[in-house]
């Protein structure tokens, strides 16, 4: 029996559709949004109409009835052209809607998922805090039960999709009690946008992802109904670990797309750019560099698709997700650096897509778990935990 890594007819049709959308709709416009640090509402609305935000969710909640492999395919094709658009989709699905789908009550799913799946509304995941990034167990935000309400106080930072005009909710992790050994019990609570005391700061000034929305959030005596608890009280830490495992597969697909986009742009440029009387692509030094870039992107694609396939089949995938995320983010940075070198001085000009890709690549080694955290997870899965 041989392995077949080819996509199904349905997945290949999705890939072609998103590829066409990325090149025909996203590519001509996104540069201007990026330079203005402006969120591309028009493009996001179109993605919603295409059903991209509902890809991995059942039709009964307004989804497309697809799977995580389908989501990864869409993310890779979008990121081949632009990562701001891709991360908006990734965060909207993996961090915004997925916690509600995985852990929400039937009432919560019916209330929130249809609009999240249609792209009419974006959700965000309030996990990271100013003093605890990788150490999410050190959460300081608190939620105290007061009758039929939770009262939330604290601050979250680097939260994607949290301050757009269409953001509808943020799922916040907060300490809701203490275990017998003194360790915090962390729970997840849905906070609707516009709730009194919930303040969204101005957008960050970022190195990259300039057409995506990233903000700091603060909660000052924010009151929400007790029914807004997402999943079991005290299980928020375990919940977000599951969400991050899945999210790493999605980020790996996005990083692979960026790596492949660097190849696409560099091959095109190497054929068009002439030096010393011939295309620079005729030079073996350039050919070898492009061959290495293609190798990296190809292997990254195999990695994230393997992790996604395991996830879809219900098999353990934590190690494979960490491997895919670690490798794909590393090669995204490598390919972005090499693409800039191939383009020479033009690679330093923002009008060229590779300049965006260079600026966008580094965060992939940080977000959804740093490269150091991925290595820690891999080592732990190998039985090397301290």
Residue 265 appears among annotated catalytic residues = no
CA distance linking residue 250 with residue 297, whole number of Å: 15
Q: How far is CA 283 from the centre of its chain?
A: 37
Tokens coding 176: 């809701």
CA distance linking residue 12 with residue 6, whole number of Å: 9
Residues 124, 170 contacting (CB under 8 angstroms): yes
- Determine which one of 185, 368, 372, 381 is catalytic: 368
Per DSSP bridges, beta strands 229-230 and 274-275 are: unpaired
Residues 85, 43 contacting (CB under 8 angstroms): yes
Please tell me what DSSP assigns to residue 51.
T
Q: How many residues are recorded in the chain?
A: 386
For the beta carbon of residue 13, count every other beta carbon within 10 angstroms. Answer: 11
Q: Encode 288-306: b = buried (16+ Cβ within 10 Å), e = exposed.
A: ebbeebbebbeebbebbbb
- The span from the first CA to the last CA of the chain, in angstroms, equals 39
Report, as residue numbers or ranges, the catalytic residues.
368
């Amino acid at each position: 029996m041989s392995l077949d890594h080819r996509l199904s007819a349905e997945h290949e049709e999705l890939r072609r559709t998103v590829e066409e959308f990325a090149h025909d709709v996203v590519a001509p416009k996104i540069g201007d949004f990026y330079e203005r640090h402006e969120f591309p509402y028009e493009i996001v609305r179109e993605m919603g109409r295409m059903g991209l935000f509902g890809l991995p969710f059942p039709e009964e909640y307004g989804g497309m009835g697809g799977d995580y492999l389908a989501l990864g395919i869409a993310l890779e094709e979008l990121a081949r052209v632009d990562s701001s658009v891709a991360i908006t989709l990734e965060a909207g699905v993996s961090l915004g809607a997925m916690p509600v789908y995985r852990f929400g009550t039937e009432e919560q799913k019916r209330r929130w998922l249809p609009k999240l799946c249609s792209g009419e509304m974006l959700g965000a995941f309030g996990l990271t805090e100013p003093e605890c990034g990788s150490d999410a167990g050190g959460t300081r935000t608190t939620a105290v039960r007061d009758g039929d309400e939770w009262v939330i106080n604290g601050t979250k930072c680097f939260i994607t999709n949290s301050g757009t005009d269409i953001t509808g909710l943020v799922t916040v992790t907060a300490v809701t009690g203490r275990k017998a050994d003194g360790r915090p019990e962390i729970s997840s609570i849905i906070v609707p946008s516009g709730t009194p005391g919930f303040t969204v700061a101005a957008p960050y000034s970022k190195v990259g992802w300039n057409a995506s929305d990233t903000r700091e959030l603060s909660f000052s005596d924010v009151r929400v109904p007790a029914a807004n608890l997402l999943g079991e009280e005290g299980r928020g830490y375990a919940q977000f670990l599951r969400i991050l495992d899945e999210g790493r597969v999605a980020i790996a697909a996005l990083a692979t797309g960026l790596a492949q986009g660097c190849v696409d742009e560099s091959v095109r440029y190497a054929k068009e750019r002439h030096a010393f009387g011939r295309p620079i692509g005729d030079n073996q030094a350039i050919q070898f560099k492009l061959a290495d870039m293609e190798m990296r992107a190809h292997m990254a694609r195999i990695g994230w698709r393997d992790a996604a396939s395991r996830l879809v089949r219900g098999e353990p995938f934590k190690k494979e997700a960490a491997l895919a995320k670690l490798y794909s983010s590393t090669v995204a940075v490598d390919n972005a650096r090499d693409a800039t070198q191939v383009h020479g001085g033009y690679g330093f000009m923002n009008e060229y897509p590779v300049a965006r890709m260079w600026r966008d690549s580094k965060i992939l080694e940080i977000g959804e778990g740093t490269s150091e955290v991925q290595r820690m997870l891999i080592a732990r899965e190998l039985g090397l935990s301290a």
